[in-house]
Amino acid sequence: MHGILVLEDGTVLKGKGFGAEKEVLGELVFNTSMTGYVEVLTDPSYKGQIVTMTYPLIGNYGVEEKWYESDGIKVEGFVIKDLTREELDRFLKEYDIPGIYYVDTRFITRKIRSGGVVKAFLKTSSEPIDEKEIKKYVELARGHRDLSEMDLVPLVSTGEVIIHRAENEVARCVLIDCGVKRSIIRCLLERGCTVIQVPYNTPPEEILKYKPHFVLVSNGPGDPVRVKEAVETVRSLIGKVPLTGICLGHQIITLALGGETYKMKFGHRGGNQPVEETFPLKYLKYLSRDYKVVSKKLLEMRSVKRGREIELIRRASRISRRAMEYGIECLSRGNITEMELAGEIEYMMRKMGSIKPAFDSIVISDRKTALPHGLPSEDVIKNIVVIDIGAVYRGYCSDITRTVILKEDRRYREVYELISEVKGELEDHLREGVPVKELDRLARDLMGEYKRYFIHSLGHGVGVSVHEEPSISSRTKEDVTLKENMVITLEPGIYLEDFGVRIEDLYLIKKEGFKRL
């Protein structure tokens, strides 16, 4: 069978057709997954799009219904380099979807990456395709409506309420279906969460009748601005029930809160999309999205009442302290490496809601000093370890540093007691409300009084940051007078022979004095 792919800019790619014999129009995109072509074809998020697979060999392992993400194929057309098995051909024919292969998918991908997604015309035919018709095909592609002008969610959302009951129910969720993938529902069920799947335009009153523990707004196709019913429903639910969203659902919640979204140049589609790097790990996930939340608008939305900001700072501080306690518990079990300790602490912090890596440094004293920053290693911690943690909770950061003694050492105890005494004196000056610059000078003078010790500049001093800032981890030596509801970080440190000690604490300045966060 013959196949032709015509782009709106006049580019023509000829190949072999497979699947249904027909003509389709759609937005041409690419997906970088090496496996999962069945999941891609049946993902409702691709409604209205012609999908190009960057991996060249498609069809290798056949087609199984258990891999479906919906009740059938949702893409408009399929573009691949090589068709390796006939099962894929039959699969596309069953759902009346055309495909083309033996085309240069690398060329298509590079073109989309440099110029952005394009509208395209795809035709398959058992008869040779007339060259004279190509000009007409270009015009058809150019005249095709943009996805932002289409209401695609109604085409993929459920038309009725469907209840998926968990065997051992521990939670109940209402899922607003904007084109949900079956795997999302399976993941919830596996975790004991009963899922009540409702249409995208379900009124908020109906949703609340189910008394859900939370509401999940699903993924789906198209522009979130077009899903006005879901946006209004979410806006009405804010403050009444916990809300969360995936992909399009996340964007809908953003719009409901007053944020903005925009269409990306070529989107993110694939099973290997990097979303975060936390040494030594890199997190990859499956993504299929065209639109993105405007970060600047979110920062403006972060401006909340002062009391709420302080509570967020306290929350970040609690996460830091609990993670520190957990890290010390892990150390007490013995025979643990820096790498393992970092992983354990990070797990605890993420579990409690922090979005920052769990540590800035974890360094053992076997390498002569416990003070300098460094990356975690596979060395087993045997003597002394410095744990430097920074928890970020909803934009507010709380750092905490502790030096943990695993083996009795008189010299180390002596310097630890010394730095604790210095910190106590700094707290006394803090009560008096001295300016930041003066507080920093006092810190240096206090540590300089102990002449018999070798004082090292690394790690001692103080920092302050006004709590209106989105982060409170920055340091400053400016001559700022301490005022009520300001946050200050005390971070004195002393270096003695082979031992370094740093103690860091966070305080909230109040009328009646200060409180440690």
For residue 243, what pLDDT band results from cuts at 50, 70 and 90?
very high
- Nearest CA to 39 among 296, 252, 175, 219? 219
Percent of the chain with pLDDT over 90: 43
Question: pLDDT digits over 255-305, tens only?
Answer: 898 888 877 777 777 776 666 555 455 566 566 667 777 755 554 544 444
| pLDDT, averaged across the chain | 80
Widest pairwise Cα distance in the chain: 95
Tell me how far apart the alpha carbons of residues 365 and 499 are, in angstroms, rounded to a whole number. 7
pLDDT of residue 465: 41
Q: Is the pLDDT confidence value at 394 over 80?
A: no
The amino acid sitting at 377 is S
Q: Is the pLDDT confidence value at 369 over 60?
A: no
Q: Is pTM, for the whole model, over 0.75?
A: no
Average of per-residue pLDDT across 28-41 = 92
For residue 474, what is the DSSP state? Answer: -
The string of DSSP codes covering 240-278 is TS-EEE-THHHHHHHHHTT--EEEEEEEEEEEEEEEEEE
pLDDT of residue 319: 81
pLDDT of residue 468: 38
- At what angle are helices 338-351 and 306-332 packed, to 10 degrees? 140
pLDDT of residue 420: 77
CA distance to 118, 264, 337, per residue, from 115 (Å): 8, 11, 48
Question: pLDDT digits over 166-224, tens only?
Answer: 998 999 999 999 999 999 999 999 999 999 999 999 999 999 999 999 999 999 998 99
Percent of the chain with pLDDT over 70: 71
